[in-house]
Amino acid sequence: MSEPVSIAVVGSGYVGLVAAVCFAEIGHNVVCVDNDERKIDLLRNGGIPIHEDFLPELLARHRNGKLKFSTDLKAATHDAQAIFVAVGTPQSASGNADLSYVDAVASEIARSLNNYKVIVEKSTVPVYTNEWVRRTIERNGIQRSEFDVASNPEFLREGTAVIDFLHPDRIVVGADSPRAAELLRAVYYPLTSGEYYTLDTSFPGSKSKENPPPILLTSTKAAELIKHASNAFLAMKISFINAVANICEAADASVQEVALGMGLDKRIGSQFLRAGIGYGGSCFPKDVAAFRYVAEQLGVEFNLLKEVEEINAQQKIRFFQKVRSALWTFRGKRLAVLGLAFKGGTDDVRESPAFDIIKMLLHEGCTIRAYDPAATDRSKEMLPPSKSLEYVDDPYAAASDADALLILSDWSDFGQLDLDKLHYTLRYPIVIDGRNLYDPDEMASKGFTYLSVGRPSVHSTRDGVMQDSAQRKRIV
C-alpha cells in the first residue's frame, strides 16, 4: 500500500466513526476524537454505538492498531497531517445549519496547532463555511501559512456507509491550495489508484483495480455546494415520485409501473423513485432546509425546495388518512407498527416519518405495539413507553390481536413475513404498507385488506376480493 497519512477525525457519530474506521482500513494511522467519554470508552473496548453493516468487523480489525480513540483533541491532532471535522450540524430555528460545533472545534484546533495541517470539512456545511473556519483559526493567532481549510463532503447512506466509503461513486475534494489538494490526493490514493481492491482483505463492491473511483478536485465553495445540491436533488426525486403516487391512486394506476418506466430512462435512473411515507433521517430534512436558507441569503429564490418540503410533510398526513379510511374510527383501536428508524438498515430515528405518524395515532386514542430490528433503544429515548405505546421484540408480537398492521420502515425482513401466520395473529387481516413491500395480488390471495402508496387497494370480502378504484369497483 502507499505511504500512510496521519489523520485525526473529530466526531464519532455516523459520519466520523465510519470515516475513521475506513481510513484505517485503507492503510492510514487514525485517531478518532470525541468529548463523549462514555462513547470513547465503549469504542476502546470494542463496542459499537451505532448500527451499521461491516462496522464491527472493521473495528475489530483495526482497533488498537491503525485506529485509536481519544477524548483529548490536542493530543489527537498533534501528529496529524489532516484533521477531518465530522461534528453535528443540526438544523437551527431559522432553518440554517447550526455551525456552533464546527466553530468550537475550529477554535480548539487553532489552540493546538504545532505545524502545518489541512483542516477538512467532513460535516455537511453551507457554502462559505470554509471561510469562516479560516477566519476563526486566524483570529486565534495562527498564521495563514500554517494551515489550509478544505472540503471533502461525504456521500454515505446509513446502513451501507462502509461500502459507500470504500466503493464510492466519486470522491469530491474542495481545496484552494495545491498543498492541501496533494495531501488529500494521498489520503484517497489507495482507492483512486485501485491499490485497496487488490488486497485479499478488501471488502467487495462496485469498484476494482480496473475500475477505481474518480476523484474530482474543485474549489472549497463548489465542494460545499455539491453536497447540499446532491442531497436536495435526491430529496426532490423522493417528493416527486410521492406526488406521482398520489396521482396514480386517483387514476387507478400503479406507481411502481410508472416508476419502472421512468427509471429505465438513463437520464432519470431508478434510484430514489420509490413511493412511500416521505424522507427522513439526519440529512435530507436539514440539508434541504439549509440549502434553501443559503439561497435566500444570497438573494436567490428556490421555491422548488419549498414544494419538496411541503410534499414530504403532506405524505405523512396522507398515510395517516389512509389508516383512518381502513379503520373508520381510531379510539380504542390497537395497532401494530413495524419500523421506527427513518429507513431500514439503520438505528437512526432522527426525523423519522414513523414518529410523526405514531404521534398522530396516539393523539387519536390508539394503542400501539411497535417493533424495529435495531432502533428500539433510540426510539424509547424519543417516545418513552406508556400505557398507549409498547415496544416489543418480534413482529408477530406486535401484530398479536391488532386491528391493523402498519409498515413504516423498509427493512427487508418486513417484506418476508409469514403471511399465513400474520393473518392468524392479527385480529383483523388489515395491512397498511407505507413502503410498498408486498404485492397487492399476493396479499389479496392471502385474504388481507391491503393498502399501500400509489397503488390500488384491495379489500377482503366474503365473496372474494374487492379492488378500489377512483372510477370503478370490481370483484376479482
Whole-Å CA distances, 154 to 37, 124, 166, 351:
25, 8, 12, 20
- The closest of 377, 415, 417 to 394, measured between CA atoms, is 417
The answer for residues whose C-beta is within 8 angstroms of residue 271's C-beta and 6 or more apart is 237, 263
| Strands (DSSP E) found in 197-340 | 215-218, 334-338
Rounded CA-CA distance 44/17 in Å is: 12
Question: 215: helix, coil or strand?
Answer: strand
Tell me which residue has cell 485479499: 200
Rounded CA-CA distance 51/55 in Å is: 8
> Residue 4 has what DSSP assignment?
P
> Residue 284 has what DSSP assignment?
H
Pick the catalytic residue from 22, 32, 283, 366. Answer: 283
- Does the annotation mark 283 as catalytic? yes
- Please, are residues 328 and 396 in contact by the beta-carbon 8 Å criterion? no
CA quadruple 386, 387, 393, 396: dihedral sign:
negative
- The closest of 26, 21, 35, 17 to 64, measured between CA atoms, is 21
Q: Quick one: CA torsion of 382, 388, 391, 397, rounded to 10 degrees?
A: -160
- Please, are residues 315 and 240 in contact by the beta-carbon 8 Å criterion? no
Amino acid (1-letter code) at residue 349: V
Which residues are part of the catalytic machinery? 283
